[in-house]
Structure 1
Amino acid sequence: MVFKVLYQENIQEAPVREETKTMYVEANSKREVREKLADRPYNIEHVQELSEAHLAYEQQSDDFKVENL
């Protein structure tokens, strides 16, 4: 499964919507995504499992890249 992760790069700062970044991660569950990212200083806002249709839509973006963790 592929998950879309919305996050802020600096956990020490207050979240600002305009600075939210997106990452795509392959994992078996939301919990596994969070475990894979635990060593990074990210403020994870939301982890969303992508359906096949949503994944196909996201893949059309030039910025789409599944992170290899």
Structure 2
Amino acid sequence: MIYKIFYQPTQRINPRRENTAALYLKADSEVDARSIVENNTSYNVDYIEELSPKALEYEQQSPHYKLAELGK
């Protein structure tokens, strides 16, 4: 499945909506997605959304869509 992960770029600053960014990640489950992000970045994960096929199709039309490649 493809997950859209909303995150803050750093854990050192209080979360603010204005700083929220997103990345797309392929993982087996939401738990795996969170683990991959937390083990390979210093991001503060806000929310993880599993994308349905229609939602994924919509997201892929965005110029900002790029599947992240983080180590497992």
The reply to whether TM is greater than 0.5 is: yes
TM range (shorter): over 0.9
Identity score, percent: 36
What is the 5 A alignment of 1:1-69?
A: 1-39=1-39, 40-69=41-70
Q: Which has more helix, going by share of residues? A: 2
The alignment's TM-score, normalised by the length of structure 2, stands at: 0.91
Q: Which amino acid aligns with 1:57?
A: Y
Q: Secondary structure at the match of 1:34?
A: helix
Gaps of 5+ in 2: none
Structure 1 CA distance, aligned partners of 2:12 and 2:53? Answer: 35
Shift of residue 63, structure 1, vs aligned partner:
0.5
Gaps of 5+ in 1: none
Q: Which has more strand, going by share of residues? A: 1
Q: How many aligned positions are there?
A: 69
Q: Secondary structure at the match of 1:46?
A: strand
Q: Which amino acid aligns with 1:61?
A: S
Shift of residue 44, structure 1, vs aligned partner:
0.3
